[in-house]
Amino acid sequence: MKLRLHRKNTLLTLIVLMGFSIVLYSLLWRTSGEAKPGSRDEVRKIPQVSAGVSTKRGFPLLSGSLTDMRKSVYENNFQQKVLNMNTDHIKGDLDLVLVVQVHNRPAYLRMFLESLRQAADVERILLVLSLDYLSEELEKIIHNVTFCRVVQICFPYSLQLYPEEFPGQDPADCPRDISKADALQQGCKNAEYPDSFGHYREAVFTQTKHHWWWKLHFVWERLEALHGYSGHAIFLEEDNYVLPDFVPFFKEMEQLQKKQCPECHILALGSQEGLPAEKQSISGVVDIISWKSTKHNLGMGMNRQVYYILMGCSREFCAYDDYNWDWTLQHLSANCLTKPLKVMVPQLPRLFHTGDCGMHQSEACDPDFAFHKMKAIVESSGSHLFPKSLTVGINQEAVGSPPAMKNGGWGDVRDHALCNSYSKL
């Protein structure tokens, strides 16, 4: 009898405590002043109530074994900590998103961030840094950014995280230049799948295309800070350099697109053609032309609708035998999309490529030379920036021109399968 009475009293106590907790939670929620998830207060704002939002520094990504690092990368991508959320000079709605693909060239990343720091209206952007290499030096650089909101995401299938197994370079994989007959006799893992030129995959080349496509999916589908965001995301790389008026210039391009080129898929900040000698007369002039991978792969701005258009060709992107993401896009423009890609691009670029070393360059890096070169460009362009309005120069129909050649390096079905998996994450 006493035992039953004790259980009854315990049950009543638990019910009372649960009721008190619910009331207390309700009161705290109502007085917090923060938007409820999914409410209108969240639209076009960075979420304020996410567990991942933080103003603290430091992501513990580099400790422990490879397995620990992989777990840390997963946790980082899940948490999506937003730095610099509530500082006095960084407030208001999200105006523009920059997504930067970062490898392991810290000097160039510093140079890019310095150009960004000096840009007008930079406090209204969200900077998304997508890393495929982790180091204390890179983390220190990122954590020292205080002039805008920052999210760090990490490509979870990098060579650093998988150094001796796919998608890295497995020792049991076939050597690049072995013949298929010899590969089959040798019994190496991917003997059945050389590329169009008879070569086998090299992970150091396949990683960039994987990272670019994964990043595109993650930003538009998984990045919590972009829920409700209807503007553009500009896709850049760590060795880019922006001019001081790039944000207001891009916002003007958005308005011009709505009025004169709603069919423009991409708003590009620059081109590979460099700085024109004449600047004054072209400061506020943009061209509307066919997108070309060899010219318009710098500072590509696209919105969510264009992302969905590209996703309609996801399988084609992942199967096309070229390790370059931009040449693959050129192929999609000519052979898969309903309409070829059309770009709006300024005649006076607002973004430049500083990298003199990397995957396609054999020269040694010289960031000091690149910095002085960019400084000279800014000085020579300074008086021609911040035009009062934009006008259209060349205006042509987009033509779907296929790439001049196919580069190969993407014949392995494992790369195809991994690439396709990103859309199902």
The CATH number of whichever domain residue 302 belongs to comes to 3.90.550.10
Residue 243 falls inside a structural domain: yes
Contact between 94 and 122 (Cβ < 8 Å):
no
Angle at 250 between CA 246 and CA 254, to 5 degrees: 175
In angstroms, the CA 96 to CA 423 distance is: 24
Contact between 117 and 89 (Cβ < 8 Å):
no
Domain that holds residue 220: 66-161+205-402
Contact between 302 and 235 (Cβ < 8 Å):
yes
Cα 366 versus chain centre, distance: 25
Six token digits for residue 135? 């180091």
Strand order in the sheet with 342-346: 82-83, 149-154, 125-131, 96-102, 232-237, 300-303, 266-268, 342-346, 285-290, 391-395
Residue 296 falls inside a structural domain: yes
Six token digits for residue 225? 């800070």
Write down the pLDDT at residue 38.
32
Residue 139 falls inside a structural domain: yes
Per-residue pLDDT of the chain (425 residues; tens, 9 = 90+): 333 434 344 434 433 344 434 333 333 333 333 333 333 233 333 333 233 333 344 445 666 789 999 999 999 999 999 999 877 677 677 899 999 999 999 999 999 999 999 999 999 999 999 999 999 999 999 999 999 999 999 999 999 999 999 999 999 999 999 999 999 999 999 999 999 999 999 999 999 999 999 999 999 999 999 999 999 999 999 999 999 999 999 999 999 999 999 999 999 998 877 777 677 789 999 999 999 999 999 999 999 999 999 999 999 999 999 999 999 999 999 999 999 999 999 999 999 999 766 554 456 678 888 888 888 888 888 888 999 999 999 999 999 888 888 999 999 999 999 999 998 76
- How many CB atoms within 10 Å of residue 377? 17
Write down the pLDDT at residue 29.
35
Write down the pLDDT at residue 372.
84
CB neighbour list of residue 311: distance below 8 Å, 6 or more residues apart? 423
Residue 213 falls inside a structural domain: yes
Domain count, the chain: 1
Residue 379 falls inside a structural domain: yes
